[in-house]
Amino acid sequence: MADNDAGFEARLAEAARLVVERLERCLSEGEPLMAGVPARLRAAMRHGVLNGGKRLRPFLVMETARLCGAPEAAALDAAAALECIHSYSLVHDDLPAMDDDDLRRGQPTVHVAFDEATAILAGDALLTLAFGLVAASHDAEPQARLHLVHALSREAGAAGMVGGQLLDLEAEDETSLPEAAIARMQAMKTGALIAFACEAGPLLAGAPAEKRERFRRFGETIGLAFQLADDLLDETADAATLGKAAGKDRARGKKTLPALHGHDWTRARLDALVAEAGELLAPEGADAATLVAAARFIAERTR
């Protein structure tokens, strides 16, 4: 167990190092999609994406790709694209008209460090860049690239992440929200991109539909755990630990399951989700130990 966890931490760190290196290249003037970009826009894009995140989603892409035998360069492109999309969504979510956050991972948010218009445009540019990176990922088969573009559009778009963000904002005005509505909102807002990350590996490897579906369900399961753990942290941690304002969700009237059911229920549910995630990867045998450790890490993280 401890060995697996140590292995997971090393692989997470290595994936983070690789994807940051790839993102540095994506956002350099040498990248064909970035030639001639105004300096201020490129700086704002870099501020939004090169900010010391854990790079969990890129790790999931890289690790599912490794497990399925997909080309590493193609996985890295997909991981970088996904991180561009995750980062753009944070840049836009932080805007005054949205969650109005000044601080993200201990740093000023993009609209604070630059201005609102630049933050809107930097977000738009990161989102647009992501699709170009996947399309130009020459180590992946053309059909796999097209599947990735389509899946990314679905999971990041109106039926996925963007739709979930809208439901989240709408929920602030509700006095109470049915549990099913909270679950739907969170599955879209957080779960969709994590599910995509876990489906990306089998997709790039051209794995059979059963395997893709199983990896996707693994992603959905750990996505649920991720959100539960995040909401629990917001209730219990302090700003110094989180690198962002704490207790803000509750103050803002955000509806979360830990707020509804309490700490013990949440911990039990997290344990059940980790067990479920492990079962979904059982057919992969010992090779899947790192991903199972990742599920545990997600459920147990304290920051």
Residues 111-140 binding a copy of itself (CB under 8 A) are: 115-118, 120-121, 123-125, 127-129, 131-136
State which of residues 14, 25, 28, 38 lies at the interface with a copy of itself (CB under 8 A): 38
- 8 Å CB contact between 195 and 220: yes
Q: Provide the 10 A C-beta neighbour count for residue 146.
A: 13
273 binds a copy of itself (CB under 8 A): no
State which of residues 9, 24, 102, 163 lies at the interface with a copy of itself (CB under 8 A): 163
245 binds a copy of itself (CB under 8 A): no
Residue 5 or 124: which CB sits closer to a copy of itself? 124
Tell which residue, 176, 183, 189, 193, has the closest CA to residue 257: 183
Residue 85 or 288: which CB sits closer to a copy of itself? 85
36 binds a copy of itself (CB under 8 A): yes
Residues 224-243 binding a copy of itself (CB under 8 A) are: none
C-alpha span between 70 and 265 (Å, rounded): 39
x/- letters, 69..88, toward a copy of itself (CB under 8 A): -------------------x
146 binds a copy of itself (CB under 8 A): yes
270 contacts: CB under 8 Å, gap ≥ 6? 225, 228, 229, 232, 299, 300
Tell which residue, 228, 234, 230, has the closest CA to residue 267: 228
Residue 36 or 285: which CB sits closer to a copy of itself? 36
Residue 142 or 285: which CB sits closer to a copy of itself? 142
183 binds a copy of itself (CB under 8 A): no
Shortest distance (Å) from residue 154 CB to a copy of itself: 5
State which of residues 5, 9, 42, 54 lies at the interface with a copy of itself (CB under 8 A): 42
User: Which residues on adjacent β-strands are paired with residue 108?
Assistant: 103
Residue 50 or 169: which CB sits closer to a copy of itself? 169
C-alpha span between 64 and 290 (Å, rounded): 10
Shortest distance (Å) from residue 46 CB to a copy of itself: 11
C-alpha span between 16 and 53 (Å, rounded): 8
Q: Which stretch binds a copy of itself (CB under 8 A): 51-59, 149-157, 198-206, 261-269?
A: 149-157
State which of residues 24, 41, 183, 260 lies at the interface with a copy of itself (CB under 8 A): 41
150 binds a copy of itself (CB under 8 A): yes
Residue 192 or 295: which CB sits closer to a copy of itself? 192
- 8 Å CB contact between 184 and 167: yes
- 8 Å CB contact between 120 and 102: no
Tell which residue, 16, 155, 22, 177, has the closest CA to residue 89: 155
Residues that bind a copy of itself (CB under 8 A): 32-38, 40-42, 45, 88, 92, 95, 97-98, 115-118, 120-121, 123-125, 127-129, 131-136, 142-143, 145-147, 149-150, 152-154, 156-159, 162-163, 165-167, 169-170, 188
